[in-house]
Structure 1
Amino acid sequence: MTIRVAVVGATGKMGQLALRLIEEADDLEPFAALDSRSSLDELDGADVAIDLTHPGASGEIVAHAIAARVPVVVGTSGWSVDRIADIRRRHRETDGARAVLFVPNFSIGSVLGSAFAAMAAPFFESIEIVEAHHAGKVDSPSGTAVRTAELMADARGTDGPVAAPHADQRARGQLVAGVPVHSLRLSGLLAEQRVVLGGDGETLSIVHTTISPSSYEAGILLALRSAPGREGVTVGLDALLDLGLPAGER
Protein backbone atom coordinates (compact mmCIF):
# COMPACT_ATOMS: atom_id res chain seq x y z
CA MET A 1 0.00 0.00 0.00
CA THR A 2 1.33 3.44 -0.95
CA ILE A 3 1.30 6.15 1.73
CA ARG A 4 0.22 9.55 0.43
CA VAL A 5 2.15 12.34 2.17
CA ALA A 6 1.33 16.03 2.49
CA VAL A 7 4.45 18.12 3.14
CA VAL A 8 3.84 21.42 4.94
CA GLY A 9 6.82 23.73 4.56
CA ALA A 10 7.69 22.22 1.21
CA THR A 11 9.87 25.12 0.04
CA GLY A 12 12.28 24.97 2.99
CA LYS A 13 15.44 22.88 3.13
CA MET A 14 13.88 20.13 5.23
CA GLY A 15 10.70 20.25 3.15
CA GLN A 16 12.70 19.80 -0.04
CA LEU A 17 14.58 16.91 1.54
CA ALA A 18 11.31 15.24 2.57
CA LEU A 19 9.82 15.67 -0.90
CA ARG A 20 12.86 14.08 -2.52
CA LEU A 21 12.74 11.10 -0.15
CA ILE A 22 9.00 10.66 -0.77
CA GLU A 23 9.46 10.75 -4.54
CA GLU A 24 12.30 8.21 -4.39
CA ALA A 25 10.54 5.74 -2.08
CA ASP A 26 8.48 2.93 -3.60
CA ASP A 27 5.91 2.96 -0.77
CA LEU A 28 5.42 6.76 -0.52
CA GLU A 29 3.98 9.34 -2.89
CA PRO A 30 3.46 13.11 -2.72
CA PHE A 31 -0.14 14.11 -1.93
CA ALA A 32 0.36 17.86 -1.53
CA ALA A 33 3.22 20.33 -1.13
CA LEU A 34 2.19 23.33 0.97
CA ASP A 35 4.02 26.62 1.40
CA SER A 36 3.18 29.76 3.39
CA ARG A 37 0.54 30.79 0.82
CA SER A 38 -1.27 27.45 0.80
CA SER A 39 -4.54 26.64 2.50
CA LEU A 40 -4.19 23.96 5.15
CA ASP A 41 -7.25 22.33 3.60
CA GLU A 42 -4.86 21.01 0.96
CA LEU A 43 -3.55 18.41 3.41
CA ASP A 44 -7.05 17.00 4.06
CA GLY A 45 -7.32 13.41 2.83
CA ALA A 46 -3.62 12.62 3.05
CA ASP A 47 -2.52 9.37 4.70
CA VAL A 48 -0.01 11.40 6.73
CA ALA A 49 1.17 15.01 6.89
CA ILE A 50 4.61 16.22 7.92
CA ASP A 51 5.09 19.69 9.42
CA LEU A 52 8.50 21.19 8.59
CA THR A 53 7.73 24.88 9.10
CA HIS A 54 8.52 27.20 12.03
CA PRO A 55 7.30 27.52 15.63
CA GLY A 56 4.84 30.31 14.85
CA ALA A 57 2.97 28.24 12.25
CA SER A 58 3.27 24.76 13.69
CA GLY A 59 0.47 25.02 16.26
CA GLU A 60 -2.19 25.82 13.67
CA ILE A 61 -0.95 23.04 11.40
CA VAL A 62 -1.12 20.40 14.11
CA ALA A 63 -4.57 21.59 15.24
CA HIS A 64 -5.83 21.40 11.64
CA ALA A 65 -4.43 17.89 11.17
CA ILE A 66 -6.16 16.70 14.34
CA ALA A 67 -9.48 18.21 13.24
CA ALA A 68 -9.10 16.74 9.75
CA ARG A 69 -8.26 13.28 11.17
CA VAL A 70 -4.91 13.20 9.38
CA PRO A 71 -1.90 11.64 11.16
CA VAL A 72 0.83 14.25 11.48
CA VAL A 73 4.58 14.09 11.99
CA VAL A 74 5.81 17.30 13.63
CA GLY A 75 9.41 18.06 12.73
CA THR A 76 9.21 21.71 13.78
CA SER A 77 11.08 22.72 16.95
CA GLY A 78 9.83 25.00 19.70
CA TRP A 79 7.24 22.70 21.26
CA SER A 80 7.32 23.01 25.06
CA VAL A 81 5.87 20.48 27.51
CA ASP A 82 2.91 22.81 28.12
CA ARG A 83 2.14 23.22 24.42
CA ILE A 84 2.29 19.48 23.88
CA ALA A 85 -0.02 19.00 26.86
CA ASP A 86 -2.53 21.29 25.11
CA ILE A 87 -2.30 19.11 22.00
CA ARG A 88 -2.93 16.01 24.12
CA ARG A 89 -6.11 17.59 25.48
CA ARG A 90 -7.25 18.64 22.02
CA HIS A 91 -6.52 15.15 20.72
CA ARG A 92 -8.54 13.48 23.49
CA GLU A 93 -11.47 15.80 22.83
CA THR A 94 -11.56 15.07 19.08
CA ASP A 95 -13.41 11.92 18.09
CA GLY A 96 -11.47 9.95 15.53
CA ALA A 97 -8.26 11.98 15.92
CA ARG A 98 -5.26 10.28 14.37
CA ALA A 99 -1.68 10.04 15.60
CA VAL A 100 0.46 13.07 16.38
CA LEU A 101 4.19 12.26 16.40
CA PHE A 102 6.55 15.00 17.61
CA VAL A 103 10.10 14.43 16.41
CA PRO A 104 12.65 16.81 18.01
CA ASN A 105 15.40 15.30 15.85
CA PHE A 106 15.19 12.92 12.87
CA SER A 107 18.80 11.76 13.29
CA ILE A 108 19.09 8.20 14.59
CA GLY A 109 22.49 9.05 16.09
CA SER A 110 21.02 11.99 17.99
CA VAL A 111 18.23 9.81 19.37
CA LEU A 112 20.78 7.26 20.55
CA GLY A 113 22.89 10.02 22.12
CA SER A 114 19.89 11.15 24.16
CA ALA A 115 19.21 7.55 25.18
CA PHE A 116 22.81 7.09 26.32
CA ALA A 117 22.57 10.32 28.35
CA ALA A 118 19.41 9.07 30.04
CA MET A 119 21.16 5.79 30.84
CA ALA A 120 24.07 7.63 32.48
CA ALA A 121 22.05 10.30 34.31
CA PRO A 122 21.31 8.33 37.52
CA PHE A 123 25.03 7.89 38.13
CA PHE A 124 26.03 11.60 38.11
CA GLU A 125 24.93 14.55 40.23
CA SER A 126 26.24 17.26 37.90
CA ILE A 127 24.85 17.37 34.35
CA GLU A 128 24.75 20.16 31.77
CA ILE A 129 23.94 20.35 28.06
CA VAL A 130 25.65 22.52 25.47
CA GLU A 131 23.85 22.55 22.12
CA ALA A 132 25.03 24.40 19.04
CA HIS A 133 23.16 25.09 15.81
CA HIS A 134 23.48 27.23 12.72
CA ALA A 135 22.85 30.95 13.07
CA GLY A 136 19.49 30.73 11.30
CA LYS A 137 17.81 28.48 13.89
CA VAL A 138 15.08 30.62 15.43
CA ASP A 139 14.40 28.73 18.67
CA SER A 140 16.51 27.91 21.70
CA PRO A 141 17.07 25.68 23.46
CA SER A 142 16.67 23.11 20.73
CA GLY A 143 13.91 20.52 20.84
CA THR A 144 16.60 17.85 21.06
CA ALA A 145 18.13 19.45 24.15
CA VAL A 146 14.71 19.76 25.79
CA ARG A 147 13.92 16.12 25.05
CA THR A 148 17.33 15.00 26.37
CA ALA A 149 16.94 16.97 29.60
CA GLU A 150 13.45 15.54 30.15
CA LEU A 151 14.64 11.98 29.56
CA MET A 152 17.51 12.43 32.03
CA ALA A 153 15.16 13.88 34.66
CA ASP A 154 12.83 10.89 34.19
CA ALA A 155 15.76 8.48 34.45
CA ARG A 156 16.94 10.02 37.72
CA GLY A 157 13.52 9.40 39.28
CA THR A 158 13.73 9.57 43.06
CA ASP A 159 17.36 10.75 42.88
CA GLY A 160 15.94 14.22 42.42
CA PRO A 161 17.22 17.12 40.30
CA VAL A 162 20.84 17.46 39.26
CA ALA A 163 23.19 19.84 41.04
CA ALA A 164 22.91 23.21 39.28
CA PRO A 165 24.78 25.82 41.34
CA HIS A 166 24.12 29.52 40.69
CA ALA A 167 21.21 28.67 38.37
CA ASP A 168 19.83 32.18 38.94
CA GLN A 169 22.70 33.67 36.93
CA ARG A 170 21.82 34.16 33.25
CA ALA A 171 25.18 32.84 32.05
CA ARG A 172 24.42 29.50 33.70
CA GLY A 173 21.95 28.61 30.96
CA GLN A 174 18.24 27.88 30.98
CA LEU A 175 16.99 25.20 33.34
CA VAL A 176 15.06 22.51 31.49
CA ALA A 177 13.72 19.75 33.77
CA GLY A 178 16.33 20.99 36.24
CA VAL A 179 19.25 20.63 33.80
CA PRO A 180 21.19 23.75 32.68
CA VAL A 181 21.12 24.05 28.89
CA HIS A 182 23.44 26.40 27.00
CA SER A 183 22.58 27.30 23.39
CA LEU A 184 25.06 28.49 20.75
CA ARG A 185 23.92 29.89 17.40
CA LEU A 186 26.86 30.23 15.03
CA SER A 187 27.66 30.46 11.35
CA GLY A 188 29.74 27.61 9.99
CA LEU A 189 28.05 24.66 11.71
CA LEU A 190 24.92 22.56 11.34
CA ALA A 191 24.18 20.99 14.73
CA GLU A 192 25.94 19.51 17.74
CA GLN A 193 24.85 18.48 21.22
CA ARG A 194 27.22 17.77 24.10
CA VAL A 195 25.93 16.33 27.36
CA VAL A 196 28.55 16.67 30.11
CA LEU A 197 28.10 14.59 33.24
CA GLY A 198 30.38 15.22 36.22
CA GLY A 199 31.22 12.94 39.14
CA ASP A 200 33.91 12.44 41.73
CA GLY A 201 37.18 12.83 39.87
CA GLU A 202 35.75 12.29 36.40
CA THR A 203 33.53 13.63 33.65
CA LEU A 204 31.68 11.86 30.87
CA SER A 205 30.79 13.64 27.62
CA ILE A 206 28.23 12.29 25.17
CA VAL A 207 28.53 14.18 21.90
CA HIS A 208 26.53 13.98 18.71
CA THR A 209 27.53 16.05 15.68
CA THR A 210 25.39 16.51 12.59
CA ILE A 211 27.65 16.88 9.56
CA SER A 212 25.07 16.71 6.78
CA PRO A 213 21.26 16.85 6.44
CA SER A 214 21.53 13.32 5.02
CA SER A 215 21.64 12.17 8.66
CA TYR A 216 17.91 12.97 8.88
CA GLU A 217 16.83 10.77 5.99
CA ALA A 218 16.37 7.45 7.80
CA GLY A 219 14.41 9.13 10.60
CA ILE A 220 12.08 10.99 8.24
CA LEU A 221 11.25 7.78 6.38
CA LEU A 222 10.73 5.87 9.62
CA ALA A 223 8.37 8.54 10.97
CA LEU A 224 6.32 8.78 7.76
CA ARG A 225 5.93 5.02 7.52
CA SER A 226 5.06 4.60 11.21
CA ALA A 227 2.66 7.48 11.92
CA PRO A 228 -0.37 6.17 9.97
CA GLY A 229 -0.43 3.02 12.09
CA ARG A 230 0.05 4.69 15.48
CA GLU A 231 -2.42 6.14 17.95
CA GLY A 232 -2.37 9.07 20.37
CA VAL A 233 0.36 11.67 20.88
CA THR A 234 4.00 10.58 21.00
CA VAL A 235 7.18 12.57 21.54
CA GLY A 236 10.49 11.28 20.24
CA LEU A 237 11.71 9.06 17.45
CA ASP A 238 13.00 6.74 20.16
CA ALA A 239 9.44 5.43 20.59
CA LEU A 240 9.75 3.93 17.10
CA LEU A 241 13.14 2.36 17.85
CA ASP A 242 12.05 0.40 20.95
CA LEU A 243 14.75 1.85 23.18
CA GLY A 244 12.65 1.59 26.33
CA LEU A 245 12.48 5.36 26.89
CA PRO A 246 9.37 7.24 28.12
CA ALA A 247 7.10 8.24 25.21
CA GLY A 248 7.13 11.94 25.98
CA GLU A 249 4.66 11.89 28.86
CA ARG A 250 6.37 14.67 30.84
Structure 2
Amino acid sequence: MTTRVALAGARGKMGQQIDSILADMKGFEVVARLGRSSSLSEMDGADLVVDVTHPDVSGSIVEHAAKNGTQVLIGTSGWSSQRISELGGKLPEDAGVLIIPNFSLGSVLGTTLATIAARFFSSIEIVESHRASKADSPSGTAVRTAELMAAARDGIGPVEAPHTEQRARGQEVAGIPIHSLRRRGVVARQETFLGGEGETLSIVHDTIDPSAYERGIRLSLDAVQTVRGIVVGLENVLDLGISRS
Protein backbone atom coordinates (compact mmCIF):
# COMPACT_ATOMS: atom_id res chain seq x y z
CA MET A 1 0.00 0.00 0.00
CA THR A 2 1.32 3.43 -0.96
CA THR A 3 1.01 6.40 1.40
CA ARG A 4 0.05 9.53 -0.54
CA VAL A 5 1.87 12.55 0.85
CA ALA A 6 1.12 16.27 0.62
CA LEU A 7 4.29 18.22 1.40
CA ALA A 8 3.65 21.74 2.70
CA GLY A 9 6.73 23.92 2.47
CA ALA A 10 8.17 21.84 -0.34
CA ARG A 11 10.36 24.65 -1.68
CA GLY A 12 12.17 25.31 1.60
CA LYS A 13 15.44 23.65 2.62
CA MET A 14 13.78 21.15 4.93
CA GLY A 15 10.98 20.57 2.41
CA GLN A 16 13.46 19.76 -0.34
CA GLN A 17 15.33 17.39 1.95
CA ILE A 18 12.13 15.55 2.92
CA ASP A 19 11.04 15.44 -0.72
CA SER A 20 14.31 13.74 -1.63
CA ILE A 21 14.00 11.26 1.24
CA LEU A 22 10.41 10.38 0.28
CA ALA A 23 11.54 9.68 -3.28
CA ASP A 24 14.01 7.17 -1.87
CA MET A 25 11.61 5.45 0.55
CA LYS A 26 9.38 2.60 -0.54
CA GLY A 27 5.66 2.95 0.03
CA PHE A 28 5.46 6.76 -0.26
CA GLU A 29 4.34 9.00 -3.11
CA VAL A 30 4.28 12.80 -3.04
CA VAL A 31 0.97 13.80 -4.62
CA ALA A 32 1.03 17.53 -3.77
CA ARG A 33 3.77 20.07 -3.13
CA LEU A 34 2.44 23.22 -1.47
CA GLY A 35 4.07 26.64 -1.46
CA ARG A 36 3.10 30.11 -0.26
CA SER A 37 0.47 30.63 -2.95
CA SER A 38 -1.09 27.18 -2.66
CA SER A 39 -4.63 26.54 -1.49
CA LEU A 40 -5.21 24.32 1.52
CA SER A 41 -7.52 22.21 -0.63
CA GLU A 42 -4.49 21.00 -2.61
CA MET A 43 -3.66 18.64 0.26
CA ASP A 44 -7.12 17.03 0.21
CA GLY A 45 -7.02 13.37 -0.75
CA ALA A 46 -3.57 12.76 0.75
CA ASP A 47 -3.06 10.12 3.45
CA LEU A 48 -0.33 12.16 5.16
CA VAL A 49 0.46 15.86 5.32
CA VAL A 50 4.03 16.83 6.16
CA ASP A 51 4.20 20.44 7.38
CA VAL A 52 7.57 22.20 7.25
CA THR A 53 6.37 25.74 6.64
CA HIS A 54 6.34 28.83 8.89
CA PRO A 55 4.92 29.24 12.43
CA ASP A 56 2.37 31.77 11.15
CA VAL A 57 0.72 29.34 8.70
CA SER A 58 1.47 25.96 10.25
CA GLY A 59 -1.62 25.99 12.48
CA SER A 60 -4.13 26.41 9.64
CA ILE A 61 -2.43 23.67 7.62
CA VAL A 62 -2.51 21.21 10.51
CA GLU A 63 -6.11 21.95 11.46
CA HIS A 64 -7.33 21.60 7.86
CA ALA A 65 -5.54 18.30 7.37
CA ALA A 66 -6.52 16.73 10.69
CA LYS A 67 -10.17 17.74 10.38
CA ASN A 68 -10.23 15.93 7.02
CA GLY A 69 -8.93 12.76 8.67
CA THR A 70 -5.38 13.10 7.32
CA GLN A 71 -2.39 12.11 9.43
CA VAL A 72 0.01 15.01 10.06
CA LEU A 73 3.75 15.21 10.63
CA ILE A 74 4.88 18.65 11.83
CA GLY A 75 8.48 19.71 11.43
CA THR A 76 7.73 23.42 11.68
CA SER A 77 9.22 25.21 14.68
CA GLY A 78 7.25 27.32 17.13
CA TRP A 79 4.87 24.74 18.59
CA SER A 80 4.95 25.56 22.32
CA SER A 81 3.06 23.51 24.91
CA GLN A 82 0.35 26.19 25.04
CA ARG A 83 -0.10 26.13 21.28
CA ILE A 84 -0.22 22.33 21.25
CA SER A 85 -2.85 22.35 23.99
CA GLU A 86 -4.98 24.79 21.98
CA LEU A 87 -4.64 22.59 18.90
CA GLY A 88 -5.79 19.53 20.85
CA GLY A 89 -9.09 21.25 21.63
CA LYS A 90 -9.82 21.77 17.93
CA LEU A 91 -9.10 18.30 16.53
CA PRO A 92 -11.41 15.32 16.11
CA GLU A 93 -10.84 12.39 18.48
CA ASP A 94 -9.39 10.14 15.77
CA ALA A 95 -6.81 12.72 14.60
CA GLY A 96 -3.17 11.70 14.45
CA VAL A 97 -0.51 14.42 14.73
CA LEU A 98 3.21 13.87 15.31
CA ILE A 99 5.18 17.02 16.21
CA ILE A 100 8.97 16.82 15.89
CA PRO A 101 10.75 19.98 17.12
CA ASN A 102 14.06 18.60 15.85
CA PHE A 103 14.72 15.59 13.59
CA SER A 104 18.32 15.20 14.79
CA LEU A 105 18.99 12.15 16.96
CA GLY A 106 21.81 13.95 18.76
CA SER A 107 19.52 16.85 19.56
CA VAL A 108 16.82 14.69 21.12
CA LEU A 109 19.45 12.85 23.15
CA GLY A 110 20.84 16.19 24.34
CA THR A 111 17.35 17.28 25.41
CA THR A 112 16.79 13.96 27.19
CA LEU A 113 20.08 14.28 29.09
CA ALA A 114 19.22 17.86 30.05
CA THR A 115 15.80 16.73 31.30
CA ILE A 116 17.41 14.05 33.49
CA ALA A 117 19.96 16.54 34.87
CA ALA A 118 17.40 19.28 35.58
CA ARG A 119 16.31 17.69 38.87
CA PHE A 120 19.82 17.94 40.30
CA PHE A 121 20.83 21.54 39.52
CA SER A 122 19.23 24.76 40.72
CA SER A 123 20.64 27.04 38.02
CA ILE A 124 19.72 26.37 34.36
CA GLU A 125 20.01 28.45 31.19
CA ILE A 126 19.95 27.65 27.46
CA VAL A 127 21.88 29.29 24.61
CA GLU A 128 20.80 28.33 21.09
CA SER A 129 22.28 29.38 17.77
CA HIS A 130 20.78 29.09 14.29
CA ARG A 131 21.24 30.48 10.81
CA ALA A 132 20.55 34.18 10.34
CA SER A 133 17.41 33.48 8.27
CA LYS A 134 15.58 31.44 10.94
CA ALA A 135 12.24 33.14 11.46
CA ASP A 136 11.44 32.26 15.07
CA SER A 137 13.23 32.58 18.36
CA PRO A 138 13.63 30.91 20.75
CA SER A 139 13.89 27.79 18.62
CA GLY A 140 11.29 25.06 19.00
CA THR A 141 14.00 22.73 20.29
CA ALA A 142 15.03 25.17 23.02
CA VAL A 143 11.40 25.73 24.03
CA ARG A 144 10.82 21.98 24.17
CA THR A 145 13.97 21.49 26.25
CA ALA A 146 12.97 24.20 28.73
CA GLU A 147 9.45 22.84 29.09
CA LEU A 148 10.66 19.28 29.69
CA MET A 149 13.24 20.42 32.24
CA ALA A 150 10.66 22.49 34.10
CA ALA A 151 8.27 19.52 34.14
CA ALA A 152 11.05 17.31 35.52
CA ARG A 153 11.43 19.77 38.41
CA ASP A 154 7.75 19.57 39.35
CA GLY A 155 7.63 19.38 43.12
CA ILE A 156 11.21 20.63 43.45
CA GLY A 157 10.62 24.24 42.60
CA PRO A 158 11.62 26.75 39.93
CA VAL A 159 15.20 27.23 38.79
CA GLU A 160 17.29 30.12 40.07
CA ALA A 161 17.11 32.79 37.37
CA PRO A 162 18.03 36.20 38.82
CA HIS A 163 17.48 39.56 37.12
CA THR A 164 15.32 38.18 34.31
CA GLU A 165 13.54 41.55 34.10
CA GLN A 166 16.60 42.73 32.16
CA ARG A 167 16.39 42.13 28.38
CA ALA A 168 19.97 40.88 28.23
CA ARG A 169 18.98 37.95 30.46
CA GLY A 170 17.05 36.32 27.60
CA GLN A 171 13.47 35.17 27.28
CA GLU A 172 12.00 33.00 30.01
CA VAL A 173 10.28 29.80 28.95
CA ALA A 174 8.83 27.74 31.81
CA GLY A 175 11.00 29.83 34.13
CA ILE A 176 14.25 29.04 32.28
CA PRO A 177 16.15 31.81 30.45
CA ILE A 178 16.83 31.14 26.75
CA HIS A 179 19.31 33.20 24.75
CA SER A 180 18.97 33.08 20.95
CA LEU A 181 21.78 33.81 18.52
CA ARG A 182 21.14 34.23 14.78
CA ARG A 183 24.31 34.28 12.70
CA ARG A 184 25.87 33.25 9.41
CA GLY A 185 27.88 30.06 9.17
CA VAL A 186 25.74 28.13 11.69
CA VAL A 187 23.31 25.28 11.05
CA ALA A 188 22.18 24.70 14.64
CA ARG A 189 23.75 24.59 18.09
CA GLN A 190 22.22 24.28 21.54
CA GLU A 191 24.01 24.56 24.87
CA THR A 192 22.29 23.82 28.15
CA PHE A 193 24.15 25.17 31.16
CA LEU A 194 23.40 23.76 34.61
CA GLY A 195 24.99 24.88 37.87
CA GLY A 196 24.95 23.66 41.44
CA GLU A 197 26.99 23.95 44.61
CA GLY A 198 30.63 23.79 43.58
CA GLU A 199 30.08 22.41 40.06
CA THR A 200 28.64 23.03 36.62
CA LEU A 201 27.44 20.82 33.77
CA SER A 202 27.17 21.77 30.10
CA ILE A 203 25.30 19.72 27.50
CA VAL A 204 26.13 20.79 23.94
CA HIS A 205 24.79 19.60 20.61
CA ASP A 206 26.03 20.84 17.23
CA THR A 207 24.29 20.19 13.94
CA ILE A 208 27.13 20.41 11.44
CA ASP A 209 25.19 19.46 8.30
CA PRO A 210 21.48 18.98 7.48
CA SER A 211 22.21 15.31 6.77
CA ALA A 212 21.92 14.92 10.56
CA TYR A 213 18.14 15.15 10.15
CA GLU A 214 17.76 12.28 7.68
CA ARG A 215 17.48 9.34 10.07
CA GLY A 216 14.97 11.16 12.26
CA ILE A 217 12.90 12.12 9.22
CA ARG A 218 12.75 8.52 8.03
CA LEU A 219 11.77 7.24 11.48
CA SER A 220 9.09 9.92 11.83
CA LEU A 221 7.57 9.24 8.40
CA ASP A 222 7.13 5.60 9.36
CA ALA A 223 5.88 6.31 12.89
CA VAL A 224 3.32 9.01 12.08
CA GLN A 225 1.10 6.60 10.18
CA THR A 226 -0.02 4.85 13.38
CA VAL A 227 -0.13 7.89 15.70
CA ARG A 228 -3.40 8.69 17.46
CA GLY A 229 -3.91 11.98 19.22
CA ILE A 230 -0.99 14.41 19.48
CA VAL A 231 2.47 13.01 20.07
CA VAL A 232 5.38 15.40 20.61
CA GLY A 233 9.09 14.70 20.24
CA LEU A 234 11.40 12.33 18.44
CA GLU A 235 12.07 10.69 21.81
CA ASN A 236 8.63 9.11 21.51
CA VAL A 237 9.65 7.52 18.21
CA LEU A 238 12.99 6.20 19.43
CA ASP A 239 13.70 3.45 21.93
CA LEU A 240 15.98 5.36 24.29
CA GLY A 241 16.29 2.46 26.71
CA ILE A 242 15.09 4.54 29.67
CA SER A 243 11.72 4.84 31.35
CA ARG A 244 9.72 8.04 30.86
CA SER A 245 6.93 9.37 33.03
Alignment of 1:80 onto 2:80: yes
Is 206-215 or 29-38 further displaced after alignment?
Answer: 29-38
Is 217-226 or 205-214 further displaced after alignment?
Answer: 217-226
Displacement after TM superposition at 1:232 (Å): 0.1
SS of the residue corresponding to residue 110 of structure 1 reads helix
Displacement after TM superposition at 1:6 (Å): 1.2
Q: Which amino acid in the other structure matches residue 81 of structure 1?
A: S
What is the aligned partner in structure 1 of residue 95 from structure 2? 98
CA contact (8 A) 1:3 1:225 kept: no
Q: Which amino acid in the other structure matches residue 160 of structure 1?
A: G
CA RMSD of aligned residues (A): 1.3
What is the aligned partner in structure 1 of residue 166 from structure 2? 169
CA contact (8 A) 1:124 1:197 kept: yes
TM normalised by structure 1 equals 0.93
TM normalised by structure 2 equals 0.95
Q: 1:198 aligns with which of 187, 195, 198?
A: 195
What is the aligned partner in structure 2 of residue 3 from structure 1? 3
Q: Distance in 1 between matches of 2:239 and 2:173?
A: 25
Displacement after TM superposition at 1:138 (Å): 0.8
Displacement after TM superposition at 1:31 (Å): 2.1
Note the 1:39-188 alignment, pairs <5 A: 39-91=39-91, 94=92, 97-188=94-185
Q: Which runs of 5+ in 1 are unaligned?
A: none
SS of the residue corresponding to residue 85 of structure 1 reads helix
Note the 1:7-46 alignment, pairs <5 A: 7-46=7-46
Q: Distance in 1 between matches of 2:232 and 2:182?
A: 24
Which runs of structure 1 show a deviation greater than 6 angstroms over 4 or more consecutive aligned residues? none
Displacement after TM superposition at 1:227 (Å): 1.0
Q: Distance in 1 between matches of 2:82 and 2:186?
A: 30
CA contact (8 A) 1:134 1:189 kept: yes
CA contact (8 A) 2:114 2:192 kept: yes
Q: 1:222 aligns with which of 212, 219, 235?
A: 219
Q: 2:206 aligns with which of 203, 206, 209?
A: 209
Is 63-72 or 32-41 further displaced after alignment?
Answer: 32-41
Displacement after TM superposition at 1:245 (Å): 4.2
Q: Distance in 2 between matches of 1:241 and 1:155?
A: 20
SS of the residue corresponding to residue 90 of structure 1 reads coil
Equivalent pairs, count: 243
Q: Which amino acid in the other structure matches residue 70 of structure 2?
A: V
1:118-141 residue CA offsets vs partner (Å, 9 max, x unmatched): 011111000100000000001000
Q: Distance in 2 between matches of 1:84 and 1:157?
A: 20
Q: Distance in 1 between matches of 2:90 and 2:15?
A: 26
**Kindly tell me: are residues 88 and 242 of structure 1, through their superposed partners in 2, closer, same or farther at Cα, counting changes over 3 Å?**
farther
Q: Which runs of 5+ in 2 are unaligned?
A: none
CA contact (8 A) 1:238 1:245 kept: no
Q: Distance in 1 between matches of 2:32 and 2:231?
A: 24
1:139-171 residue CA offsets vs partner (Å, 9 max, x unmatched): 000000000011111111211111101111111
1:39-69 residue CA offsets vs partner (Å, 9 max, x unmatched): 2212122221110111111111011011111
Q: Distance in 1 between matches of 2:84 and 2:232?
A: 9
Percent identity between matched residues is 56
Displacement after TM superposition at 1:184 (Å): 0.4
